[in-house]
Structure 1
Amino acid sequence: MADPVTGKVASYAFWGHDGRALADFWAAALGWRLTQEYPDENGVPVAFTVTDGTTTYIFYTAKDHRPPNWPAEELPFHLDLSFPDVAAAERRLLDLGATKPEHQPGGEYWTVFLDPSGQPFCVSAAT
């Protein structure tokens, strides 16, 4: 029997102006599937689940969402992604709607991108 006070992360939650567009971006970027929508009290879908079957992200629509003011302010978190072919992944992410900010602190080790909500994430080579 599992220890009753040992927890595990069930999902990771992200907010943006358009939760569905954000879910679509991340599903395509990671090669995952959008699996479920959750409606608000009026029946309008506002939360969207994306998973690979082992890890789950939930993307929420937040009308007043403001992207982080990076790099002027530190980030509370960000995702680090790795790909076997970084150049191909970078082209694909840009085609999907990511943007590449001018500020690139990773040198040759990683590249920073912004997802459609303005949240930074990093891309590096798979190790």
Structure 2
Amino acid sequence: MSNTSGAAANEARVKCAAFWGHDGKALAEFYAAALGWKVTETYGDAAAMISDGTTRYVFYTAKGFEAPRWPQDELVFHLDLSFDDVAAAEDRLISLGATKPEHQPGGTHWTVLLDPSGQPFCISAHRG
């Protein structure tokens, strides 16, 4: 059945995105600090949620988690974060537990970092 008014009758919205790692709570704390958000809920020792009040991410502990062997393995999903000062952000993220792999395919456009679980994410400058 079509909706002739132009508005979606039952429009979906993303409730949250979920990530798995070797320590879900530690990963939540890393991304909360990286984004300037807060850990808003914890679920025992296995998971935690972070939010800025509108967007939510939940991080789960996965037994037997193995980080992708990037760049050999293709990635299913990753985050791209942007900052006013990319160099300062890189230094801060590394101080929070990120690492910088040798392989950097972004040139001057973006930098790849690995979160504490070894999963790649990218940082770049805000673009207007």
TM-score, reference length from structure 2: 0.91
Aligned counterparts of 1:93 and 1:56: Cα–Cα separation in 2: 20
3-state secondary structure, aligned to 2:14: coil
Stretches of structure 1 lacking an aligned partner (at least 5 in a row):
40-44
Q: Structure 2 counterpart of 1:8, which letter?
A: R
Total equivalences in the alignment: 121
TM-fit CA distance, 1:76 = 1.2
Aligned counterparts of 1:76 and 1:24: Cα–Cα separation in 2: 22
In percent, how many aligned pairs have the same letter?
Answer: 64
Aligned counterparts of 1:53 and 1:3: Cα–Cα separation in 2: 26
Q: Structure 2 counterpart of 1:3, which letter?
A: A
1:106 aligns with 2:106: yes
1:55 aligns with 2:55: yes
Stretches of structure 2 lacking an aligned partner (at least 5 in a row):
1-6
Aligned counterparts of 1:98 and 1:117: Cα–Cα separation in 2: 9
Aligned counterparts of 2:29 and 2:114: Cα–Cα separation in 1: 15
TM-fit CA distance, 1:110 = 0.3
3-state secondary structure, aligned to 2:12: coil
TM-score, reference length from structure 1: 0.91
Question: Whose Rg is larger?
Answer: 2
Poorly superposed stretches of 4+, deviation over 4 Å: none
Aligned counterparts of 2:69 and 2:62: Cα–Cα separation in 1: 17
Tell me the C-alpha RMSD between the 2 structures: 1.3
